[in-house]
Structure 1
Amino acid sequence: MTVTTGAPPTHRAPAARVLAFAGGFLTGGVIGVSLAAFTVGCILEHVPLVVTGVALPVAYGLLVLAAGAPRRAREAAVAPHTALAVIEAMEARTSEYSDVPVRFDLTVTPDDAPAYRVEITQDINLVDLPDYRPRGVLVVQYPPDRPWRVTIVKRPTPVWEERAAGARIDSAPGPAVPGEPGDGRAVGFVTLLALLLGAAAVVLLFRADLFDRDDSTQPPAAEPSVSSTVSTSLVIPGSGTVTLGPGRSMLDSGELRGAVDSLLDGKNAPQALTLVVQDRLLSVVFAPTSTGAPQFDPRSLPFERVPALVEEARTTLGIGAAQTWQLAADRLTGALTLRVSVTGTGGAALLEADAEGTVVRRSPAH
């Protein structure tokens, strides 16, 4: 087969990129406002604010689904193009499941357009993996308006299977076009910025109630004490923070348990909504006495298992050289859940454990 080479397909138009950034900003703002409203509402025992924090993301999700329905219907009505492609290179990544993510560098040869190179990642079953090899010819499909969104047809029709068996395809010049537009990091940054702005707006709006309340009217559970073993501390009604001095870590023996005990008041220890631990920092948001939000006793954490969970997340999830770690505990899903998130040179990963410290889910870095 003779291949005519040409310019690679272009990605989304500028207008679509603007919409992507706008959508990311709006999504981040909704997340930030919802989280801050829920937390501030629980601290202030402000029921409408708590309801807003729960209802806002639900309403936003339904709105996004409704707004995207016409576009999804249009895309479903357009038949995808089918073409032959040759594997220039491939790389299988590690996975704990039967389907392995494989990165393909393909030369795609449409019947009515010049050939082009594209890079995609697709899950391939371990049993079928030997069928894919460099210079092997495949049948692929892609939307006519987005030729970079290529997917491999695992079971082509007999006609296309016969064409693939007898085809010889030359390589198109590189470099390969990424399978998806490369705006992900920029959109992620915009989303994060909007999240912080939304959360800050809620806190500033209720700053008088949060920081100017009369401490004498607060119940003892909302005034945790801080032990003398810490270097610095910050205590506001309904929450507490413990910071260890230089050279110490929450992973050291007894440090995390001692930090938690320093924020509690003997037998009348308050229940917590969330607990977050970093290397030298402990932050706890306590539950108001009248709230019905899911809560837990901070003293019930499996303290002895925390160092092992962090070490497992650092060394087995493919993040490369570990840089940061964080443990978050809550009961938002019903049972007490510990989430250990880690970052490194290879990306970010997540490990989840139950109330006994037993690992229940791993999300490796990609």
Structure 2
Amino acid sequence: MTSTVGKPPTHNAPAVLARGFLTGSVIGASLTAFISGCVVESAQLAILGLLLPAVYGLLFFLFTLPRRAREAAVVPRTALAVVESLKAVGGETSDVPVRFELSVAPDDAPAFRVEVRQDINLVELPDYRVGGIVVVEYPPDRPWKTRIVKRPTPEWEERAATTRVDSAPGPAMKSDSPAGCADGLLTLFGLLLGVAAVLLLFRADLFDVDAEEGESGPFRRPAISASSSTTVVTSATGTVNLGPGQSMLDEGELRRAIESLTRGANTRRALTVVVQDRSLTVVFAPAGVETAGFDPRSLPYDRVPGLVQKAGAGVGSPRGWQLAVDGVTGSLTLRVVVTGDGGTGVLEADGQGRVLRRSGG
């Protein structure tokens, strides 16, 4: 029983790539929204992270329903096939996934070669061998969906025992669409785009960038204005932005900024403190964890201007500076970075403001 090989049908590559891109976008956006909502205590973000995959799954189900209905209405065709090769590809249970390469010879259609993957019970595995004849079923419009019939009817079982099937030339069609590099890259791009979309749309809640506009979220305390500065305290962070003509290096300015974030009921411990010329950001330790972090009021305020001056020695005309204080491990570490026309200077000091090392400049 031989016949010519028909042209293998092609998979819908654009649809597969678009589906991978959308799936990656939904995964990135939902995970980012849910985790961010838990961190900043935003019920809106957390619920959005849970709703996104549910809505996407429902839309995908409805969109593919007509296609799946059409495919289900197609009557599968039964044919004989010869096993060209087989290889177990893993599995630790009684059913072992086996990759078959088959030459299928329908009675009234061109023969074709196809590669399929199917679970076979360990007890039945010896029944399949290279050169053996098996009974298969496949949709006429999707021959790459070929499946081996494990319990054929007596008629087909007799035909498989008495009929010779020749090998079909040509490359084997795959039972699954190959993922490919483009599919993986588009999925990754979609994931990153979903993350970026959530961070951009909810940047006010996540990064408090709306402080200067006077907006307030459900978990943000009222802003306090003093000396042309803006102070915003949330459940996770506190920020102070100075007005024009002011600097954190001015006498007593850094101390006042720290105290504006830590007075009264806000006397919480900090994990990190970041100071720039006109801004201060304090990341507070989680509520209820009293042993983590450090008291931001213990910083050596009076030594900060001198540390910035030492770090910037040799960098030319300074363009900007930053002080980062880290106390997660228990001992305070002050790191000062100053950038200028002549390079970058870095200085590290301990909790008392004593210089430990200096580089650059």
1:26 positional shift: 1.6
Which residue in the other structure is 1:88 paired with? Answer: 84
Q: 10, 33, 37: which is aligned to 1:37?
A: 33
* Residue range with higher mean Cα deviation, 113-122 or 78-87: 113-122
Kindly provide the CA deviation profile for residues 262-300 of structure 1, in whole angstroms up to 9, marking residues without a partner as x. xx966469xxxxxxxxxxxxxxxxxxxxxxxxxxxxxxx
Q: Counterpart amino acid of 1:75?
A: E
Task: Please list, as runs of the form range in 1=range in 2, the aligned pairs for 1:146-157 lying within 5 A after superposition.
Answer: 146-157=142-153
Question: RMSD of aligned C-alpha atoms?
Answer: 2.9
Kindly provide the CA deviation profile for residues 196-221 of structure 1, in whole angstroms up to 9, marking residues without a partner as x. 11101211333344344654459788
CA gap of 1:220–1:54, structure 2 versus 1, over 3 A, is farther
* Structure having the higher Rg: 2
CA distance in 2, matches of 1:6, 1:189: 34
Kindly provide the CA deviation profile for residues 150-195 of structure 1, in whole angstroms up to 9, marking residues without a partner as x. 1100001111111111011111113322222324543232122101
Segments of structure 2 that go 5 or more residues without pairing to the other structure are: 209-231, 239-260, 274-280, 294-361
CA distance in 2, matches of 1:66, 1:211: 37
Kindly provide the CA deviation profile for residues 239-281 of structure 1, in whole angstroms up to 9, marking residues without a partner as x. 99xxxxxxxxxxxxxxxxxxxxxxx966469xxxxxxxxxxxx
1:11 positional shift: 1.9
Which residue in the other structure is 2:9 paired with? Answer: 10
CA gap of 1:39–1:237, structure 2 versus 1, over 3 A, is farther
CA distance in 2, matches of 1:64, 1:202: 21
Segments of structure 1 that go 5 or more residues without pairing to the other structure are: 227-234, 241-263, 270-366
CA distance in 1, matches of 2:95, 2:283: 49
CA distance in 2, matches of 1:145, 1:236: 63
1:135 positional shift: 0.4
| 1:224 maps onto 2:271 in alignment | yes
Task: Please list, as runs of the form range in 1=range in 2, the aligned pairs for 1:1-366 lying within 5 A after superposition.
Answer: 2-12=1-11, 16-212=12-208, 214=233, 215-216=237-238, 223-224=270-271, 237=283, 267=291
Which residue in the other structure is 2:344 paired with? Answer: none
Secondary structure at 2:45 match in 1 = helix
**Contact 1:118/1:179 (CA < 8 Å) preserved in 2?**
yes
CA gap of 1:157–1:70, structure 2 versus 1, over 3 A, is same
**Contact 2:25/2:194 (CA < 8 Å) preserved in 1?**
yes
Which residue in the other structure is 2:222 paired with? Answer: none
**Structure 2 length as normaliser, TM-score?**
0.59
CA gap of 1:194–1:238, structure 2 versus 1, over 3 A, is farther
CA distance in 1, matches of 2:190, 2:282: 26
**Contact 2:5/2:170 (CA < 8 Å) preserved in 1?**
no
CA distance in 2, matches of 1:237, 1:133: 65
Q: Counterpart amino acid of 1:28?
A: G
Secondary structure at 1:224 match in 2 = strand
**Contact 2:269/2:290 (CA < 8 Å) preserved in 1?**
no
**Contact 2:28/2:190 (CA < 8 Å) preserved in 1?**
yes
**Contact 2:272/2:282 (CA < 8 Å) preserved in 1?**
no
**Structure 1 length as normaliser, TM-score?**
0.58
Which residue in the other structure is 2:310 paired with? Answer: none
CA distance in 1, matches of 2:156, 2:10: 27
Kindly provide the CA deviation profile for residues 47-106 of structure 1, in whole angstroms up to 9, marking residues without a partner as x. 111111111111211221222222222211111011100001111123211110111111
Aligned length: 234
CA distance in 1, matches of 2:285, 2:20: 31
